[in-house]
Amino acid sequence: MFNHPIKRVLYIGDIHGNKERLERLLASSAYAAVDHRVFAGDYVDGCGDIVGTAQLMLEEAKRSDVTVLKANHERDLVVFLKQFLAFQLGKAPSPKLPGKKERLATLEQLHQYWESTRDHTMDGHDPFHQLVLGIINLYHSSPYFVRIGRAFFAHGGFHPAMMRSLRHADRIQMVRGVYTADLRDVEAPHVMLGNMLVRKARHGNALQRAPEGFSVYVGHHYGRSNTETPWTKNGITCLDTGCGKSDDNLLTAAEINAETGELIALHTF
């Protein structure tokens, strides 16, 4: 079992709090049939059930055949939550509320969860802080990217550092054929946010090309929110279909042949 090669991978796009679509995905045969699952991240900040979605994600992330990538929405939330915990301990001033409407909605839901569970706190069982620490810990233990066979997976974009860092053998972590490596701070934003890719795409220029013989899969936001067809260019497949931004937008999962990096099928939920 441990040496069982990963042949098929499911890459799941941004969820943004759409718990119903996430539940449909988790119950699907497509989810069960693959050898490994990679979540693009961005499971918070959206119009659905953020707390319920986060709880499901924290459960799934415990599985050894599931990887959740670092993404910008969790990063920003974690920065706030850490400031909030420091404030609770009297070690920092009250954190400033975020300006973004969707992030305020996430905090509002976390607050409601605290209100509804604080009276039931006993014997050290504290659901609110358990959830908050779970979100923080999952973010910090998540990789910026993974490579499985001939496929690269990141939240936002491809950066040559992803190839380079895997060549430094002492920095590679290998878990059942899933390769991850640390990135320098200067490269991490490009992998998480795809900044260069987005800017170039807006100006109509070519995306940075996936390395020869590899495919790259990303989520994030590429202005293809209302279609279930992924946008593919230069070996990079963008899978953010705007799930969680409106109830109508689908959650997309790409089934990938790890040996070739190619897309086998696209599943929507």
- Helix axis angle for 101-117 and 127-141, nearest 10°, is 140
Least distance in Å: CB of 251 to Mn ion? 12
| CB 218, CB 155: distance < 8 Å | yes
What are the two backbone dihedrals, phi and then psi, of residue 135, each rounded to the nearest 5 degrees? -65, -45
Cβ burial of 169 (10 Å; 0-12, 13-18, 19+) is exposed
Least distance in Å: CB of 219 to Mn ion? 6
User: Cα angle vertex 218, ends 241, 236, to 5°?
Assistant: 105
116's tokens: 């509804």
Size of the site for Mn ion (CB under 5 A): 2
Least distance in Å: CB of 29 to Mn ion? 26
Q: Could you report how far apart the first and last alpha carbons of the chain are, in Å?
A: 29
Pick the piece of the chain touching Mn ion (CB under 5 A) from 11-19, 26-34, 109-117, 124-132: 11-19
Least distance in Å: CB of 123 to Mn ion? 38
Nearer to Mn ion, 177 or 244 (CB): 244
Least distance in Å: CB of 160 to Mn ion? 23
The single residue among 9, 10, 12, 14 that binds Mn ion, judged by CB under 5 A, is 14
Nearer to Mn ion, 181 or 218 (CB): 218
Nearer to Mn ion, 210 or 251 (CB): 251
- Residues within window 206-245 making contact with Mn ion, judged by CB under 5 A: none
Question: Using CA atoms, how far apart are residues 65 and 38, in angstroms rounded to an integer?
Answer: 9
Nearer to Mn ion, 235 or 242 (CB): 242
Phi/psi-derived region of residue 251, left when phi > 0, alpha when psi is between -120 and 50, beta in every other case:
beta
Least distance in Å: CB of 191 to Mn ion? 14
Pick the piece of the chain touching Mn ion (CB under 5 A) from 14-22, 28-36, 177-185, 241-249: 14-22
- Residues within window 26-55 making contact with Mn ion, judged by CB under 5 A: 42
Identity at 30, one-letter amino acid code: A
Question: Using CA atoms, how far apart are residues 242 and 20, in angstroms rounded to an integer?
Answer: 15
Nearer to Mn ion, 67 or 165 (CB): 67
| CB 70, CB 189: distance < 8 Å | no
Least distance in Å: CB of 14 to Mn ion? 4
70's tokens: 């670092």
Nearer to Mn ion, 24 or 224 (CB): 224
Nearer to Mn ion, 165 or 252 (CB): 252
Task: List interacting residues with Mn ion (CB under 5 A).
Answer: 14, 42
